[in-house]
Amino acid sequence: MGAFLTVSELSRRDAAARVQALAETGTDPGYVGDGEPPGSPEDLVNDVRDSGTRQLTARDLIGLWGWKRRTSDVTDLVDQHLAGLGLRVDPHFTDVQLDGLVTVSAEGSTGLGEGIRDQDRGDDQQAPPNADGPRDRDLTWRIGNLPFVREVVTVRMSDALSQAITPMIEHGFSQLPVVDHNDVLRGVVTWD
């Protein structure tokens, strides 16, 4: 459900209807837009052409071009590719968490799929970048951008420093959380 608060509205991804269906039938019906992501940018264009829009996660969208992280370079490249294909994304894929949904639709003034036809003809011309230039984006890394971690490796305040070094080397960690006897975060051990 993605809720971090004690009391929160179940509004994302049809959560309220899904919880009700789970209570009544024991089965999660999924949410609108749930399903396998397109296999390629060309498949995305076909989906938008057939249905008018296509929902997918920001992670799946950038994954169409082989990316897993939203660096500024990746964001600009994906924006250029989308513009070249005649597609736009709402909300922008940097405005949501990686597993947040975005809706891809046809750009009003550009012919849908022009970039794909240009590639098929073998033209050496690239699609022009967005005339407005890159839009202001928040590229800050947040906890929500990280994949879900099932087990956090920690050390206790009373442990010897050598007990922190071993897991840091084994897992390639640059730092390790230090917790008290109640597993409350009290600090961090770093190589520095």
- Domain count within the chain: 3
One domain, residues 4 and 27: yes
How many CA within 13 A on the CB side of residue 149? 8
Helix (H) or strand (E) holding 57: strand 53-57
What is the per-residue pLDDT for 148? Answer: 64
Residue 48 CB burial class (10 angstroms; 0-12, 13-18, ≥19): buried
One domain, residues 25 and 102: no
Residue 148 lies in a domain: no
One domain, residues 25 and 115: no
Geometric angle at alpha carbon 7, from 6 and 12, rounded to 5°: 110
Res. 14: pLDDT tops 80: no
One domain, residues 115 and 166: no
pLDDT tens, position by position, 122-176 = 444 444 444 444 455 566 666 666 666 667 899 999 999 999 999 999 988 899 9
pLDDT tens, position by position, 61-112 = 999 999 988 888 899 999 999 999 999 999 999 988 888 889 999 987 444 5
Confirm if 71 and 28 have CB atoms less than 8 A apart. Answer: no
Res. 34: pLDDT tops 80: no
Residue 98 CB burial class (10 angstroms; 0-12, 13-18, ≥19): buried
Residue 141 lies in a domain: no
What is the per-residue pLDDT for 93? Answer: 92
One domain, residues 87 and 105: yes
